[in-house]
Structure 1
Amino acid sequence: MTGLSTVFRHRSSSPEETQALAERIGRLCATGAVIALTGDLGSGKTAFVQGLARGMGVSAACPVTSPSYTLVNQYSGTGGQTLCHIDLYRLVHPDQIEDLGTDELMDGDHVTAIEWAHKFGPDLWKEDIDITLDIVEDTVRDICVAPRTAKGEALVEQLIQMNS
């Protein structure tokens, strides 16, 4: 963390609750936001991105799926915003990241959500927020939303206000 202190913690009891939290975050995301998602297999990272997309106005007719094999999916939301969903799970070496064209995908014209963002170590991305999903029980997740930039700090503070 870069000296930012505000952290939002939430215990989700279902995938739907995880998506509802992510939907609120999606409504708060400004174009150019970068979100790093970490958690074990089955922790709810893709479910989180589904809610994020809903909050950004991505049509329900456009299913948000894990890009495990395609590595990158893009979805058009309302107001000209685009959600770029990246999944690094199948990559084996950090050099492969360059082949994805992440420079263009994170050029400020998208909201970017990166699953397995810290697979090759911290600080590969200039993420605004880190979201960690920890499995507690079968459907229960502890979710931590931590800012890494001033933009991320503002988003987390807004999220806290929405939930108070």
Structure 2
Amino acid sequence: MEFIVNSLEETMSLGVQIGEKVNKGDIICLIGDLGTGKTHITKGIAQGLQVQDYITSPTFNIVNEHNGRIKLYHFDVYRVNDPDEIEAIGFDEYIFGDGVSIIEWANYIEELIPSEHLRITIEKLPDKGINCRKIILNYNGDRYNYVKEIKI
């Protein structure tokens, strides 16, 4: 599915809808250049999960944990130099655990991502406006069929 969003509010709204529908064990992979809105869509997903914490990218911690309707594990693997580094923090325990895992820069650790996941690719469309983005939702696995219900 493909969406064109024209504001941060539309990006967040898309995230909220996803957050309201996710289930324990869901894995959401975020792909996009710096400044495309990966953290904003994560903030929306967190809001949909009823997370009360302020969401920031866990750039130096690799993972932040947040409590909500379902526990949220928010990864940022931008600075990970070696997949062994992320395995050392118990990555498998997180993604196969009882929470929802969001992985920013998931393309950096592609070999560690299970085949069943939701991939969100975000691209800037600067010729259409400063906050205009193309957001593409692709998923592998029936558990992510809820994506078909999302609208802008």
Give the alignment's Cα RMSD to 1 decimal: 1.4
Within the alignment, does 1:73 sit opposite 2:64 as a pair? yes
**Hey, what's the Cα distance between the residues in 1 that align with 2:60 and 2:8?**
22
The aligned residue for residue 146 of structure 1 is: 138
TM-score normalised over the length of structure 2: 0.92
Within the alignment, does 1:155 sit opposite 2:143 as a pair? no
3-state SS of paired residue (2:93): helix
Deviations along 1:54-100, whole A, 9 cap, x unmatched? 001111xx10110001110011112xx10100000011112211122
Within the alignment, does 1:133 sit opposite 2:122 as a pair? yes
The aligned residue for residue 93 of structure 2 is: 104
Amino acid at match of 1:105: Y
Q: Which runs of 5+ in 1 are unaligned?
A: 1-7
How many residue pairs get aligned? The number is 148
Q: Which runs of 5+ in 2 are unaligned?
A: none
3-state SS of paired residue (1:109): coil
Deviations along 1:86-125, whole A, 9 cap, x unmatched? 00001111221112211111123010000000114x3421
**Hey, what's the Cα distance between the residues in 1 that align with 2:39 and 2:25?**
20
Do the aligned partners of residues 16 and 44 (structure 1) sit closer, same or farther apart at CA in structure 2, a change above 3 Å counting? same
Within the alignment, does 1:50 sit opposite 2:43 as a pair? yes
TM-score normalised over the length of structure 1: 0.85
Q: Residue 14 of structure 1: CA displacement?
A: 1.4
Which of these residues, 3, 12, 16, is aligned with residue 19 of structure 1? 12
